[in-house]
Homo-oligomer: A and B are copies of this chain.
Amino acid sequence: MALIVAKFGGSSVASVEKIKNITLRIRDMRDQGDDAVVVVSAMGDTTDDLIKLARATGNELCCRELDMLLATGEQQSAALLALTLKNLGCDAISLTGWQAGIRSDSTYNKARINGVDTERIKKELNQGKIVVIAGFQGISPEGDITTLGRGGSDTSAVALAISLKADSCMIFTDVEGVYTADPRIVKDARKLSKISYEEMLEMASLGAVVMQPRAVELAMLYRIDVEVRSSFNSNPGTIITGVENMEKQRVVTGVTHDLNCAKFALFDVPDRPGIAKTLFKALAEHGINVDMVIQSAMRDNRNDIAFTIMRDDLDRALPVVREIAEKISASGMTYGEDVAKVSVVGAGMQSNPGVAAAMFEALADENINIQMISTSEIRISCIIDRSCIETAVRALHRKFALDTLD
């Protein structure tokens, strides 16, 4: 008899009808003789609706009270799932984060899990119950309710799987797994049966968010396998695991793209120490993450600086960049939303030189101009014209033969 930790996201519990659908999947586990701990997110848009209410008070930023408010969403979906399971004849019990023993620090809105006291969960499992746990939440050392920040329910599930020494951790979502590219763009994109933690982290941060990076990091730290699969059917998904477990070394594992990009350029910036710091510190203070940066070769002790941010942050970034441009006496500033990022990811590229060259060649063959480049050990990303993104993804998928290899 195995112990499975299964997490269902907000879209899987968005209505009582959808909750009824997933109970069938949970009953299947039970029918196979497995014990199940089920972690749920809040129903559909509940969290957003609660944030709107908090905002209406004029005080959305008060962290402790916001967590008190937001944590109700997962408590509701957990209770409704337990009710539905019991109605189906499966004995079930719902637990809040604090009842499930999920201890966190006191960093409201983005608390980190310190540990899980599993006594209560084990007691309920021993009584033959399916244990449904409200994700995204914990309890601080002071006895206050905390929430774990974006993707918190994925992190709850992984932490529970680790603490309970579960045989399996499954993240049920609205996609079937991790693909070699977005199947909406590349018709012959393949579902990967396995992917390494490192690759998954890169792909998630590049726009293919099937599982939250933070939860992947936690799984990687404790070396537990996590399977991402569909909540709508019983097809096998993608197993996120350590490289040492992988049967075959691929050079490139997948192609990802991200349309949530905007680009800034500042011209004729003085070539003095501290200039870049001034700019990027100001952006950081406004909570705006800078993705790629290039600085052109200097002429007359002046540089051009270009960088990209998330397109969602553009409105907030504009006044900040304008002010800094003036302050550092740049001769001009431009920005644009007509860019996108395409990346190839693969643990294998560490030992395979020539991946970058092949990538650039594939893009050149399609007459696509590369505006910026950034790389990590297992990733190469290019900023290109937004209108070319689908062509680029297809060309790279073909170039690295992702439709055939595994």
Contacts and interface: CB of A to CB of B under 8 A. Distances in A.
Interface of A: 16, 19-20, 50, 53-54, 56-60, 62, 64-66, 68-69, 71-72, 75-76, 78-80, 82-84, 86-87, 92-94, 96, 99, 120, 143-145
B76 A59 contact: no
Nearest to A60: B83
Given A65-B94, A94-B65, A99-B144, A57 B72 contact: no
A120 B93 contact: no
Nearest to A120: B143
Given A53-B80, A99-B144, 13 more contacts: A16-B53, A19-B57, A50-B76, A53-B76, A54-B79, A54-B83, A57-B83, A57-B87, A58-B87, A59-B87, A62-B82, A68-B82, A72-B72
8 contacts: A16-B53, A16-B57, A54-B80, A54-B83, A59-B87, A62-B83, A65-B92, A68-B79
A96 B72 CA distance: 11
A68, A94, A143 — most chain B CB neighbours (10 Å): A68
A65 to B, nearest CB: 5
A143 B119 CA distance: 13
B75 A59 contact: no
B99 A83 contact: no
A80 B69 CA distance: 7
A27 to B, nearest CB: 14
Q: Main SS of chain A's interface residues?
A: helix
B59 A84 contact: yes
A65 B53 contact: no
A16, A72, A78 — most chain B CB neighbours (10 Å): A72
B87 A78 contact: no
Contacts of A83: 54, 57, 59-60, 62, 65-66, 69
B64 A93 contact: yes
A20, A50, A79, A87 — most chain B CB neighbours (10 Å): A79
A256 to B, nearest CB: 38
Contacts of A92: 65
Contacts of A68: 75, 78-79, 82, 94, 96
A76 B96 CA distance: 15
B69 A79 contact: yes
Nearest to A144: B99
A99 to B, nearest CB: 6
B72 A75 contact: yes
A122 to B, nearest CB: 14
Nearest to A78: B68
A120 B144 CA distance: 11
A86 B59 contact: yes
B82 A76 contact: no
A316 to B, nearest CB: 22
B72 A58 contact: no
A99 B143 contact: yes
Given A65-B94, A79-B66, A144-B99, A84 B72 contact: no
Contacts of A82: 62, 65, 68
